[in-house]
Amino acid sequence: MMLVQSTWNGEQTFRMVPIHKDCPYVECICDPTTKVFVVISTITKNTFHMVPKLDDNGDPMFMKNVKRKNGKMQKEERRQCETFQEFYLEDVNSVVDIIKHFAINEKTFKFKWKEFLKDKPKEESNSLVGSVLTGAKTPEIIV
C-alpha cells in the first residue's frame, strides 16, 4: 500500500491505498477528528442497512408532512447488502505498526502522520459512528 495525503470532511489527513491487486485491504484512512484509523478489508459480509426507498424513477420517496424520529424526511427500507469488513484502530502504536508493515513509502512520505496521530482528537467530535462506506452502525473496535 502507499501512503497519500488526503482530506476527510474538509480536513487534512492521510490514507493508504493499494498498489497491487493482491493487497488484503481496499483502503485505510485516518479520521482527523477522532484520530481513529479505519482499515477496510477485501473480506465481504452480508449485513442489513437502512437505504432510501426509491420510486419507479429511482428517486428517493419523501414522507408527507411527517418528520421521522431520526430527523430524516425520506422513506427508508431495510435491505441486505454485501459490504467490506472494517476494522477501527484507536491505539497509536497499532496504527504505526500496520503502516510500517504495509506502506512502501512510510519513510519518504512528507505528511507528518506520526505527529498527526499523537495530536488529541477534537473535543466537539463524536466518536466514529457507522461505516465509512455504508453508514452501518456496527463497527468492530480493535484496541
Interacting residues of 71 by C-beta distance below 8 A, sequence separation 6+: none
Interacting residues of 139 by C-beta distance below 8 A, sequence separation 6+: 86, 88, 128, 129, 130, 131
pLDDT tens by residue, the chain, 143 residues: 999 998 888 888 899 999 999 999 999 998 888 888 999 999 999 989 888 899 999 999 888 877 777 778 888 889 999 889 999 998 888 888 999 999 999 889 888 877 777 776 665 544 444 444 444 444 444 54
Interacting residues of 13 by C-beta distance below 8 A, sequence separation 6+: 5, 6, 7, 29, 30, 31, 32, 116
Interacting residues of 107 by C-beta distance below 8 A, sequence separation 6+: none
